[in-house]
Amino acid sequence: MVHAVHGVAAQAPFRRLVTPGGLRMSVAMTNCGRLGWVSDRSGYRYDPIDPESGQAWPAMPALLRDLARDAAAAAGYAGFAPDACLINRYAPGTRLSLHQDKDEGNYAHPIVSVSLGVSALFLWGGAQRGDRARRIPLAHGDVVVWGGPARLRFHGVLPLPEASHSLTGALRINLTFRKAG
């Protein structure tokens, strides 16, 4: 999977996007699949075109697509066919503030996440931004299917610690598979 991520990034390099509020995100992102998640001054959206290259996003490697499909099926979501894979890259100190994933067309579809490399502490909140969040470690190889009532809960990632993993060095990579369109 790490090799597949490198292949995607060779065609669509990791970049730090700007939020609608004008702040640069600390997480670096890229995408594969028919649709990619992008943010700029005009908002958040799924776009079939990589704004950096003006080209379609790289195809979703079958290895990644099949893993997401099988994980979803094992959690009770048979037939999950993701059309978007957002790939987040964390360097030491990188964090992702508390948010909901609300840019997809149909919240009945789950999101499948795969964590690679350095472990991070995931923040698992509630339905309301102010709800107390649990801290859950996400380690290399962890696969989680977020569906049903979990789908719209607030979540985030604490700053990545300085650590090293044999496959990614100081980095953490997180893939999220979505049915966005």
Closest CB 144 distance from Fe ion, rounded Å: 11
According to the annotation, is 34 in a ligand binding site?
no
According to the annotation, is 101 in a ligand binding site?
yes
**Residue from the set 2, 151, 165, 168 that interacts with ligand MD3 by CB under 6 A:** 151
Residue 86 as a binder of ligand MD3 (CB under 6 A): the answer is yes
Closest CB 100 distance from Fe ion, rounded Å: 7
According to the annotation, is 172 in a ligand binding site?
yes
In angstroms, the first-to-last Cα distance of the chain is 24
**Residue from the set 46, 57, 77, 146 that interacts with ligand MD3 by CB under 6 A:** 146
CA distance 144 to 61: 19
Q: Which residues are annotated as a binding site?
A: 37, 44-46, 88-90, 99, 101, 103, 129, 155, 172-178
Residue numbering of the annotated binding site for Fe cation: 99, 101, 155
> Which residues form the interface with Fe ion (CB under 5 A)?
101
* Residues of this chain that bind ligand MD3 (CB under 6 A): 86, 88, 96, 101, 111, 113, 122, 144, 146, 150-151, 153, 155, 157, 174, 176
